Structure 1
Amino acid sequence: MADFTILHKKAMDLAEKAVLAKIKNDIQNSKSLFEQAYEAERKAAFAYADKIAKEPTRSVLFRSAAALALNAELFREAEQMACLGISGTAPQEILEELRDILEDVHFGRHLKLRGIELEERDIQLSIAGGETGLGVVQSDVFMEKFNTTERLFYRIVERKMKKPFREQGRIENNIKENYQLYLSVPRAASYAVTIRIGRPTTQMMIPGTDVVGDIVAELMENLRLVNEGDEVTLREKIPEDDYYQNFVALAKNLAPDGKKVNLVGFTANLSGEVKELALTRKKAEITPVPLRNKEKTVEITGTLSYADAKNKKIKVTDKKGVDHKVIVDKAILSDIVKPLWEDTVTLTGTIEGRSKEIRLLSIEKAVDNAE
């Protein structure tokens, strides 16, 4: 038992050093330290492997070993540790945490390239969840995620080219043609495709950038900030109000709902280094427009039956036939609201002052309609 205590303490000390290294962006050292911490905790956990009655100590140790392996990107080892923890008589709370680790393990595995070599103008999009299988996915689930990724990409291009925010209408032909997106054949990683970005001509290059690489890097970095809830830094990177609101709203659309889609991931080759991003923040947790104090919110489900782009208003007709007119910010009218035309939607809005008008906060397909 003394050996177990020493091993566990060693693992925790190494894990603390690994976290500090990660904060300093010393990624290689951090990974190495997490591996060493995992080895120590694995040995401590196996001292309890056959002691099924010793709960919750047994499951806590295997949970800790699995988490350390996951941080070290030892996905197979993390899977084994989590399964050993689940195989005992762990308390329900720890069982849920072990299952969450398994989901994270599978998420990391989906992000891997499976022998596919990405060029510097490629990005892999991975989707997994209840509506995906091995190499197959419900078509509208995939198209929603791909179309949202496409809109995010072109908005970044337009902003980097210092174009005024496009409130309506199509993307300029010269931008669409020079930054065309192409899709690979789907791969069996739950569902994964490579998006290849066309290389622009010299006339279309964005000054001061390596063009495609910079756009992909910004896409992944800004999505990471949304995923972490770091609105302050994201505001600094996207100072223009319209572009900021649009990016957050599109990121909300892209995020997993926890039902049909449990995970959305991106893998890209940036300057010769493979980078991965796992979107784990659920769309319900992301609010495109921050609430002001004392604002009342309302939720309405109905058919999106009318849109007035000029006056930035839409109409939703509920099941009782009552029409609800809603004010929509120009930043989300084209990319978020327009694709939902004539769908049954659920919207959240705030009631504006004495006028009692509803201002849109978020809108998406209604659950019954999305199934």
Structure 2
Amino acid sequence: MTWLIFHRQSEMLAQNAHESLRAGDKDGARRLFSQAAELERQALDSLAPDKSKTRGITAVSAAALLYKADQFEQACQLAYSQLGDAALAEFARFQLEELVQTVYNEREKKKYDVTFLPGMVNVSVRGGEVLRGAAPLDLIVDRVKTIQAMFYRVIEWTTSRPHRKGPPTKDVSQLFQPWLLQDVPGSFQFSVAIKASTQLELFEKQNPGASDVARQFLHIVQTISVDETGDATKALVPDDSYRTTFRKLVRNLAPTGKEFDSLEFRSTGVDDVPSINAVARIKIAKVIRAEQPVPAVGEQAVELTGNLRAVDLNDDWLKIHVPDKGEEKVSGVSQQVDDVIGPMVNRQVLVRAVRTKSGGLRFVDIELVDERK
């Protein structure tokens, strides 16, 4: 048989494997991935040595299928055999090296003394100033904190807990502990997983589905990032407070300058891969602004750009230093959540407010300054 026949048969089996994963049949998916990998290997063997590009594509595909089948040793052996070929295309060499590193990481994770819930979320920061395995510290720390906040919010929303403004309660933070795991360096990557608790089984019985944090997280991020009207997010998250907080947290993940271009998420068994980029930020901002209240007669909408100096949610104010104007105090922030506004202190922000008839400023929204404009 020809390369094309082997390859098409492999693609069909791989598609069936993904459908099995979506249906929850992991063992069946692994078998299908293994069969697909064997056909892709036969496709590779059928190619002439001078077909460098096609050989590279097929080699990466075969190794990736072996990896998905949990056949780590075979995946590495195939990768090593191809990496020893001096004629191997550069893109294939890069991807095969990444796959080998991924296998090493998987082996290490199996040695951990702690166990994690299914559905680890892999995060890739791409473009801009981000290098392979290196990125600005503030950029990564800010996104990790926001993802952690999202995880806690997803758990609380899933278990029908009241929407909070302060930190998560101890019962949630102790049962669900987000961990940051080192990932294979491809651009800059890391994984987030929830450490399992000995008390989780009882909690899960009382709150079915609470441990499926990763899938819910990805579903929310994906929906918000592509939702141009807000209707899809409203159908997914009917609660106004949770929906607003989720939107603003996802907006905080999006790029605001040249440091990076996109933030991509993936998880085993989840086909939709959210990508948070400049386009997604524009969509989210448009929806948020459309739902903001219109100033009353005699009031004026204003925008303040400057350094966020201080926030006091209890006393209901924030202070922003605006160049050439000095410090401005804005009231009405008590309904905001610390997860969203806290990381912005001492950062350049855009505050939307309403100038009241008495001359005071009433808070409407806050976001980091988009330096690309």
Between the aligned partners of 2:303 and 2:71, the Cα distance in structure 1 is 44
Q: Map residues 226-237 of structure 1 onto 2, 5 A cutoff.
A: 226-229=220-223, 235-237=234-236
Which structure 2 residues correspond to residues 177-216 of structure 1 after superposition, within 5 A?
Answer: 179-180=173-174, 196=195, 209-210=204-205, 214-216=209-211
Amino acid in structure 1 at the alignment position of 2:42: K
Find the counterpart in structure 2 of residue 363 from structure 1.
368
Residue 244 of structure 1: how far off its partner (Å): 2.0
Task: Tell me the alpha carbon deviations over residues 142-196 of structure 1, each in whole angstroms, 9 at most, x when there is no partner.
Answer: 75455435533543565466554334x455xxx3267437979987656778765
**Could you tell me how far 1:260 is from its partner in structure 2?**
11
1:41 and 2:44 aligned: no
Q: How does 1:76-225 map to 2 (within 5 A)?
A: 77=75, 80=79, 84=83, 88=87, 90=89, 95=91, 99=94, 110=105, 113-119=109-115, 144=142, 147-156=145-154, 158-159=156-157, 162-167=160-165, 169=166, 175-176=169-170, 179-180=173-174, 196=195, 209-210=204-205, 214-217=209-212, 219-225=213-219
Partner of 1:62: 59
CA distance in 2, matches of 1:68, 1:151: 34
Deviation at 1:212, TM superposition (A): 8.2
Report the Cα distance in structure 1 between the residues aligned to 2:255 and 2:96, rounded to whole angstroms: 17
Give, as a single letter, the amino acid of the residue that structure 2 aligns with 1:363: L
SS in 2 for 1:210: helix
Q: CA shift at 1:11, angstroms?
A: 1.9
Q: Distance in 2 between matches of 1:324 and 1:152?
A: 30
Go from structure 1 to structure 2 and tell me whether the alpha carbon gap of 1:116 and 1:170 turns closer, same or farther (over 3 Å shift).
closer
**Partners of 2:99 and 2:333 in 1: how far apart?**
36
Once residues 63 and 299 of structure 1 are traced to their aligned partners in structure 2, the CA distance between those partners, rounded to angstroms, is 51
Report deviation, 1:32. Answer: 1.6
- CA distance in 2: counterparts of 1:15 and 1:253, whole angstroms: 36
Asked if 1:72 is matched to 2:69, the reply is: yes
1:305–1:179 CA distance, 2 compared to 1 (3 A): closer
Q: Cα distance, 1:240 vs. partner?
A: 0.6
* 1:243 to partner: Cα distance: 0.8
Q: How far did residue 20 of structure 1 move?
A: 4.1
TM-aligned CA distance change 1:365 to 1:25, over 3 Å: same
SS across alignment from 1:239: coil
Matched positions, count: 335
CA contact (8 A) 1:59 1:88 kept: no
Give a deviation string over 1:207-254, Cα, whole Å, max 9, x none: xx436884332x322212135447677655532121122234335556
Q: Deviations over 1:119-156 (max 9, x none)?
A: 477997877776997xx998766754554355335435
SS of 2:205's equivalent in the other structure is coil
Native 8 Å contact 2:313 2:336 kept in 1: no
State the partner residue of 1:337: 341
- Work out the CA distance in 2 between the residues paired with 1:196 and 1:20: 28
Distance 1:64 1:225 in 2: 27
Q: Distance in 2 between matches of 1:321 and 1:104?
A: 54
Q: Is the 8 A contact 1:304 1:341 kept in 2?
A: yes
TM-score by structure 2 length? Answer: 0.59
Q: Return 5+ residue gaps in structure 2 as ranges.
A: 185-189, 291-301, 355-361
> Could you tell me whether the CA contact under 8 Å between 1:152 and 1:250 is conserved in 2?
yes
Equivalent in the alignment of 1:239: 238
2:38 and 2:44 map into 1 onto residues whose CA distance is 10
1:26 aligns with 2:25: yes
The answer to whether the 8 A contact 2:308-2:345 is kept is yes
**Take 2:322 and 2:81, find their aligned partners in 1: how far apart are those partners?**
46
Contact 1:180 1:197 in 2 (8 A): no
Which whole-Å deviations, capped at 9, do the CAs of 1:44-102 have from their partners, x for residues lacking one?
Answer: 22333632xx3543333334434534543556627828965996475x9xx3x885686
Which residue in 2 is equivalent to 1:4? 3
The one-letter code matched in structure 1 to 2:339 is: D
Unaligned runs of at least 5 residues, structure 1: 268-274, 352-356
What's the secondary structure of 1:291's corresponding residue?
Answer: helix
Structure 2 contact 150–217 (Cα < 8 Å) conserved: no
Q: What secondary structure sits across from 1:8 in the alignment?
A: helix
Does the aligned pair in 2 maintain the 1:256–1:279 contact within 8 Å? no
Q: Does structure 2 retain, via aligned residues, the 8 Å contact 1:325–1:358?
A: no
Aligned-pair Cα RMSD in Å: 5.9
| Identity, % of aligned positions | 21
* 1:312-366 superposed Cα distances (whole Å, 9 cap, x missing partner): 8766556666889999987754211123212235x59899xxxxx9964743797
CA distance in 2, matches of 1:263, 1:292: 21
Cα 1:117–1:262, aligned 2, differ >3 Å: closer, same or farther? farther
Contact 1:7 1:41 in 2 (8 A): yes
- 1:341 and 1:247 map into 2 onto residues whose CA distance is 20
When normalised by structure 1's length, the TM-score is 0.59
Give the Cα–Cα distance (whole angstroms) in 2 for the partners of residues 26 and 330 of structure 1: 47
Tell me the residue number matched to 1:354.
none
Equivalent residue number for residue 286 of structure 2: 291
